[in-house]
Structure 1
């Protein structure tokens, strides 16, 4: 298998959308489709089902995702170490993003850290909070961004970094869509779709407590990521609560986004293994601390 095509496959499997995957890879969509077809011929298997409803993984595709992505990650790790040794770079840092925080502060922290250390190798991937915790504990990554609060992370280092706004996403035909904003009380009788609690139990329970004052109502559907949540809303299956940035960026036709009044937010932070003695990790956490301190001073200026 060509590792480049395997990487293309992994990005398409994550996005389940050829155009968005091509944009992430900075290649033309027809070229990406051709490379996937070549990979399917090499493996003698169809990896994606393509129809008017979108793109989904076949059984063979799910096997390749489970077996091939760890292989790709290991190949990338080896290549990173070889490049660092050959080019005299100062070290390697493996960072994992949370999907719901895309294009936010975590991206900026990684970009600015990399800019300050041009000889460093910063390897970045994306998952979700529970997976990120597991990757830190297993040593697959040195630092990871997560949604807060965490329910089981006493063994890890944690630095809260800020919060993002949560919004209500509705079918355009829903009566609440006529309002400019909503309140949490409006959700009491609302049919909802949601993400799997297992992806971030502490975050899930905290949002549910603040909206429903306890467990949420039984969802009409549980979807794995923001794209599928928005698709379910567009189909009229229910409403969902999600990160404002992702909702506005990915919002499909037939869906409206409404802010909460008062504003509803959710925290996020960075975690790491406190027993790690990696100089690169220590430098990155110090970089994050400086930002957290600066943000605190901006929000709470000293009296004059």
Structure 2
């Protein structure tokens, strides 16, 4: 059985439709059907139940799908790792960065990468913490920087690399803006605008829990949105507040104030696949396990 045939079978198993799978593979439907029948003859039994509206996997098909994915993934890793050694100048490291991370963070990681493998190219993908976890799960990034807490699959792991203090973000017109710092009990009368929970449920709940632990009677707004949209809305809603880092103070019309006496802290972590054989990733994990100092620049 050839890798090409395994790719054909995986496409049909995922699409559950020969025509759609053939379009995805840029081959004709009869050719695809013939290749699947060749595989079935080789394994000695049907892999698919063919119907008028599509196909279903047999028990044997389910087994082959799992194995085929593993084989194709191993083949891709083998090619990528061999190419990285044979052509170090063409090596690509796929880095995922959570939305809203400090601007210095990807640059610091890229510098660590290039110190260990000069000439490596960095492919950067941004998204929410949930997005980064899914990219890792599908082996579409080598290393992902995300916010904790986050739920990861069993074959994924992480190490904390940096902390960042969060505080209250608000319009300059908000009465709380006159204070140099804010006691949590004072924010209870102000509507809190948060990013949408669906974007990062664990982080969303952690921030609310930390606020409540500090004595804040939080009144959560229905205006769930992205962090960027929150920053756009706050200048228009002087009575509302948000949660963010001191970096948000550079947004026109907004100010940032720390919480006292206990600061609110968010942790960034680097996550990776535990079954990876990428030697560059292993050296990066060793370098990052000591943490990265938060920079003011």
Bin for the TM-score computed over the shorter chain: 0.5 to 0.7
Matches of 2:164 and 2:285, distance apart in 1: 20
Matches of 1:215 and 1:145, distance apart in 2: 31
Structure 1 pair 162–85 and aligned structure 2 pair: CA distance change class (3 A): closer
Q: How far 1:126 sits from its partner (Å)?
A: 1.5
Matches of 1:197 and 1:107, distance apart in 2: 28
Matches of 1:154 and 1:165, distance apart in 2: 29
Matches of 2:123 and 2:226, distance apart in 1: 24
Of 279-288 and 99-108, the range deviating more from structure 2: 99-108
> 2:258 is matched with which residue?
259
Q: Does 1:184 align with 2:189?
A: no
Larger radius of gyration: 2
Residue pair 1:192, 1:220 contacting (<8 A) in 2 also = no
> 2:233 is matched with which residue?
232
Residue pair 2:98, 2:147 contacting (<8 A) in 1 also = yes
Matches of 1:161 and 1:281, distance apart in 2: 15
Matches of 1:186 and 1:278, distance apart in 2: 50
Paired residue secondary structure (1:261): coil
Matches of 1:152 and 1:273, distance apart in 2: 10
Q: Summarize the alignment of residues 118-157 of structure 1 with structure 2, pairs less than 5 Å apart.
A: 118-157=118-157
Q: How far 1:106 sits from its partner (Å)?
A: 4.5
> 1:219 is matched with which residue?
221
Q: Summarize the alignment of residues 63-142 of structure 1 with structure 2, pairs less than 5 Å apart.
A: 88-89=88-89, 91-142=91-142
CA deviation vs aligned residue, 1:81-105 (integer Å, no higher than 9, x gap): 7x97995437321011112213244
> 1:21 is matched with which residue?
none
Residue pair 2:97, 2:125 contacting (<8 A) in 1 also = yes
Return the TM-score normalized by structure 2: 0.63
CA deviation vs aligned residue, 1:244-280 (integer Å, no higher than 9, x gap): 22x134x12x222111113221111110110111122
Residue pair 1:84, 1:121 contacting (<8 A) in 2 also = no
Equivalent pairs counted in the alignment come to: 209
> 1:210 is matched with which residue?
210
Residue pair 1:205, 1:215 contacting (<8 A) in 2 also = no
Matches of 2:154 and 2:235, distance apart in 1: 39
Q: Does 1:159 align with 2:159?
A: yes
Return the TM-score normalized by structure 1: 0.62
CA deviation vs aligned residue, 1:166-220 (integer Å, no higher than 9, x gap): 0211111111111111022222221121101122222111110010249953314
